[in-house]
Amino acid sequence: MVDHRSDQEVVRLVGLRKSYNVGKPTEVEVLHGLDLTLARRDFATLVGASGSGKSTLLNLVGLLDTPTSGELFLMGKATRDMGDAERTALRANAIGFVFQFHHLIQAFTAVENVLMPLMVTGGKPSSEQVEWAHRLLEQVGLKGLERRKPDELSGGQQQRVAVARALVMRPALLLADEPTGNLDTQSAAEVFRLFRQFNEEFGCAVLLVTHDTRLSEQCDRTITLVDGNIESDERAL
């Protein structure tokens, strides 16, 4: 189980490097030895120009990809020598991911989509888990729409289902890569408000990539990537 103490270190990067096309003529290093720590209560945004390495970094932290060198600690555990099963279990239990495109399963209802991560890790959900999924959908403003399929919901509503799905495992860390890039201003503000609410009420660290300065300006901490290096890491006063 994930430890939910507020002072807990959730992520630590030590000299993290990432190259693509290793061993080929096109080999290129895109992250050049990053050091970074995220704690349980952090509400941080990762900003930087297109191509600076934001998605690469999020994918590494989310265990969707592996670093070329350096170490990534998640929940205090070194991840380098973990086997696939251990990585998958840690990812499923500790991390929620929201992407620009929600990747909801069209054949499933909203509540079934929210329950997906629980079903993948544990089979048939318990009645408590189904109740929790309904509560999350209520929190994201979708009460009454639980049985709708994704194509019967607006884009903003679909993204809110994706947010509920990302939170169903009560992750210690929420990673979001342009989660509002596809939404109108009001839906974007609502999704952002949900991140803030879960960070405060439920103590999940947030690392948000967004090009929307109206949102990034509201974060407590701004980490700026320039050409694969952390140029600055500042906390709001």
Cα atoms in the 13 Å half-sphere on the side-chain side of 125: 20
**25 lies in the binding site for ligand ATP (CB under 6 A):** no
CA distances from 215 to 1, 46, 181, 189 (A): 32, 11, 11, 8
Structure tokens at 133: 């999924």
Please pick, from the candidates 12, 16, 40, 55, the single residue that binds ligand ATP as defined by CB under 6 A: 55
Which range touches Mg ion (CB under 5 A), out of 27-35, 50-58, 70-78, 109-117? 50-58
| Cα Rg, the chain, nearest whole Å | 18
**199 lies in the binding site for ligand ATP (CB under 6 A):** no
Compare residues 52 and 199 and give the one whose CB is closer to ligand ATP: 52
Alpha carbon distance 35, 12 (integer Å)? 7
Alpha carbon distance 119, 113 (integer Å)? 10
**186 lies in the binding site for ligand ATP (CB under 6 A):** no
Q: Which residue is nearest to Mg ion (CB)?
A: 55
Which range touches Mg ion (CB under 5 A), out of 14-22, 32-40, 55-63, 155-163? 55-63
18, 29 in Cβ contact below 8 A? yes
Work out what residue 150 binds among Mg ion, ligand ATP, none; the CB cut-off runs from 5 to 8 Å by kind.
none
**56 lies in the binding site for ligand ATP (CB under 6 A):** yes
Name the residues that contact ligand ATP, by CB under 6 A: 20-21, 30, 48, 50-56
